[in-house]
């Protein structure tokens, strides 16, 4: 539900808009990294000040980093969330200065997407083509005047996309019952892989009967992660290798997970569309057991055995993740 006051802030004059709401001028995809960007960032600062905001929660973060990501982006993210981005998760709190840098990154590209909010008081959402949406519990008259004076165009609008198109709350909680079911799967199957889906990558945990109860894994996990349980490793490494190669030939992608003779667990993201795709045979050369975990195929999502989101320390489920498996998942 939206707050009482919602604005769309852009560099585009509303007079250059058709009756259907579309603009007649060329819209910018990325920031000018100059005076217009500075005006956007200052607008956020002014609206936050008028709303009495001192810190905001990072909600529904999505991070895509690859070879094209510039060093400045990496430095900003590391400065806010730590060198390994361990502080980046749904619900992480940042001060206003850090929030402004996250807004700046989103204006510049799509490496990072997130909503920033002080629940019940203030919401920031950066949309496409330099559209900035701001919601507040108060009218923010000073900020409105300053933003207009800076050459931007703040307009009242009916809703903030962060309120209307946000990812649904995951309804399954990684509670005691979830971990009991994981233990049962381990007993039935001999082992399972528990995938810890973080904003900045994924981590697999191998659970065998010797590592029960599986709930002990939570001590090693980040807040609000999405957990997917997959079948365990198989000793038939040749079959895994052939399955992986067949998927890569179809330009699919997934995680290759394996253990070596010393029992060390390894994982590698492999993408069939990557021109530098690694040699699967080399990766698995010392593997004694392995698995190819492919969550998406040309035929749609692959269903994990179980899926749930980690609870907050007070026992409440607040994590936001896309529900990409069927609701009747058993």
Q: Which residue ranges make up each domain of the chain?
A: 5-164, 176-309
* Burial profile 49-76: b = 16 or more Cβ within 10 angstroms, e = fewer: ebbebeebbbbbbebeeeeeeeeebeeb
pLDDT of residue 161: 85
Q: Is the pLDDT of residue 300 over 70?
A: no
pLDDT at site 330: 40
Reply yes or no on whether the pLDDT at 165 is more than 60.
Answer: no
Region 179-191 average pLDDT: 97
Q: Is the pLDDT higher at 141 or at 163?
A: 141
> Residue 44 contacts by C-beta under 8 Å, 6 or more apart in sequence?
99, 100, 103, 124, 132, 134
- The answer to whether the CB of 65 falls within 8 A of the CB of 143 is no
Would the pTM count as exceeding 0.85? no
Provide DSSP, 128-152: STT-EEEEESS--HHHHHHHHHTT-
Q: Which two tokens stand for residue 179?
A: 């971990």
Strand, helix or coil for residue 328: coil
CA dihedral 96, 101, 103, 109 (to 10 degrees): -170
In this structure, of 99-108, 145-154, 196-205, the range with the lowest mean pLDDT score is: 196-205
Q: What is the pLDDT of residue 115?
A: 94
Assign 324 a pLDDT band (cuts: 50, 70, 90).
very low
Residue 166 has pLDDT above 50, yes or no: no
Residues of the chain by 3-state class (helix, strand, coil), percent to 5: 30, 30, 40
Give the mean pLDDT of 110-131. Answer: 94
Q: State the Cα–Cα distance between residues 210 and 216, nearest whole angstrom.
A: 12
How far apart are alpha carbons 286 and 237 in whole angstroms? 10
Per-residue tokens: 111 = 């490496």
Burial (CB < 10 A; 0-12, 13-18, 19+), residue 271, is: middle
Q: CB-based contacts of 112: which residues, under 8 Å, 6+ apart?
A: 61, 62, 63, 64, 73, 77, 102, 105, 106
* Separation of alpha carbons 140 and 146, rounded Å: 10
Amino acid 154: pLDDT: 97
The pLDDT tens digits for 35-89 are: 999 999 999 999 999 999 999 999 989 888 777 778 888 899 999 999 889 899 9
Please count the CA atoms within 13 angstroms of the CA of 113 that sit on its side-chain side.
Answer: 10
Centre a 10 Å sphere on the Cβ of residue 17 and count the other Cβ atoms it contains.
14
pLDDT in tens, 229-267: 999 999 999 999 999 888 888 878 889 999 999 999 999
Average pLDDT, the chain: 89
Categorize the per-residue pLDDT at 325 as very low, low, confident or very high, splitting at 50, 70 and 90: very low
Q: What is the mean pLDDT of residues 266-286?
A: 86
pLDDT band at 31 (very low <50, low <70, confident <90, very high): very high
């Amino acid at each position: 539900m939206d707050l009482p006051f919602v604005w769309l802030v852009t560099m585009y004059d509303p007079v250059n808009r058709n009756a259907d709401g579309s603009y007649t001028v060329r819209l910018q995809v990325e920031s000018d990294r100059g005076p217009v960007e500075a005006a956007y960032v200052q607008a956020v600062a002014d609206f936050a000040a008028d709303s009495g905001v001192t810190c905001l929660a990072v909600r529904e973060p999505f991070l895509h980093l690859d070879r094209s990501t510039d060093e400045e982006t990496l430095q900003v993210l590391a400065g806010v969330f730590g060198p390994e981005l361990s502080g980046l998760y749904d619900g992480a709190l940042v001060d206003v200065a850090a929030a402004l840098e996250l807004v700046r990154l989103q204006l510049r590209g799509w490496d990072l997407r997130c909503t920033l909010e002080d629940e019940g008081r203030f919401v920031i959402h950066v949309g496409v083509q330099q559209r900035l949406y701001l919601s507040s519990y108060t009218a923010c008259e000073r900020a409105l005047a300053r933003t207009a004076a800076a050459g931007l165009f703040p307009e009242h609008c009916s809703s903030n996309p962060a309120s209307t198109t946000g990812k649904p709350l995951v309804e399954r909680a990684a509670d005691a019952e979830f971990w009991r079911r994981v233990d049962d799967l381990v007993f039935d199957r001999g082992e399972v892989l528990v995938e810890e889906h973080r904003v900045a990558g994924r981590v697999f945990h191998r659970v065998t009967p010797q590592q029960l109860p599986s709930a002990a894994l939570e001590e090693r996990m980040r807040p609000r992660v999405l957990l997917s349980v997959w079948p365990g490793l198989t000793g038939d490494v040749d079959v895994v290798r052939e399955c992986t190669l067949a998927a890569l030939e179809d330009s699919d992608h997934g995680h290759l997970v394996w253990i070596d003779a010393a029992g060390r667990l390894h994982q590698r993201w492999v993408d069939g569309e990557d021109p530098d795709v690694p040699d699967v045979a080399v990766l698995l050369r010392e593997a004694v057991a392995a698995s190819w975990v492919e969550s998406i195929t040309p035929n749609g999502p692959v269903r994990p055995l179980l899926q749930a989101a980690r609870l907050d320390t007070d026992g409440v489920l607040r994590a936001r993740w896309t529900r990409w498996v069927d609701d009747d998942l058993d």
